[in-house]
């Protein structure tokens, strides 16, 4: 598997770098907006909760197209698209029940997508800049577990989701900065 990644065409790191910078910017803005509305499940916070996994789907589609255009396989990305699509549906239902159910769905999504991110980062490690993605995947698994646990507490809040998203964005930023140009991967 590493040979497919380490011999990737020069456009793969450039596309990933742009995608990762975009994901950082989105996460930072999203986290700020959710932080400001995290006290209740109002129209804005509900919209934000649904937009985040939709953005994840869109980013994975861009990533898949880039990988396919360069002849690289992308099975983990297809899994990510499916998981995030299911998260949108689950969150759309959960917001009608309250914050604890939102945290349960978000937590389950974070665990599963974190595992997928670990796999994708490991497969792409020859490109450089993937250790932050691997670490982020592991943190996502732990954070997801904590969201599910928090759902059963006496005072569940959406506040931690904002921090989780921002931290994930920071890992995308670090990865974007660490991706190796094609000339450095040889």
pTM of the model: 0.84
Q: How confident is residue 98, by pLDDT bands cut at 50, 70 and 90?
A: very high
Q: Residue 117 contacts by C-beta under 8 Å, 6 or more apart in sequence?
A: 80, 133, 134, 136, 137, 140
Q: Is the pLDDT of residue 8 over 50?
A: no
Task: Give the tokens for residue 146.
Answer: 């904590």
Q: Give the model's pLDDT for residue 1.
A: 33
* Cα–Cα dist 32/67, whole Å: 31
- Rounded mean pLDDT, 113-138: 82
């Amino acid at each position: 598997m590493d040979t497919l990644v380490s011999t990737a065409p020069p456009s793969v790191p450039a596309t990933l770098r742009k995608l990762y910078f975009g994901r950082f910017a989105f996460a930072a803005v999203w986290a700020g907006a959710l932080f400001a509305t995290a006290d209740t499940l109002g129209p804005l916070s509900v919209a934000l909760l649904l937009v985040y996994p939709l953005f994840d789907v869109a980013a994975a589609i861009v990533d898949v197209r880039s990988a396919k255009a360069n002849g690289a396989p992308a099975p983990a990305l297809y899994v990510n698209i499916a998981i995030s699509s299911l998260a949108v549906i689950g969150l759309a239902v959960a917001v009608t029940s309250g914050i604890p159910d939102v945290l349960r769905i978000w937590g389950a999504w974070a665990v599963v997508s974190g595992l997928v991110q670990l796999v994708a980062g490991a497969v792409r490690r020859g490109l450089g800049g993937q250790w932050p993605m691997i670490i982020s995947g592991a943190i996502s698994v732990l954070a997801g577990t904590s969201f599910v646990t928090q759902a059963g507490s006496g005072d569940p809040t959406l506040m931690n989701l904002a921090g989780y998203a921002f931290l994930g964005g920071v890992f995308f930023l670090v990865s974007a900065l660490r991706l190796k140009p094609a000339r450095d991967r040889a």
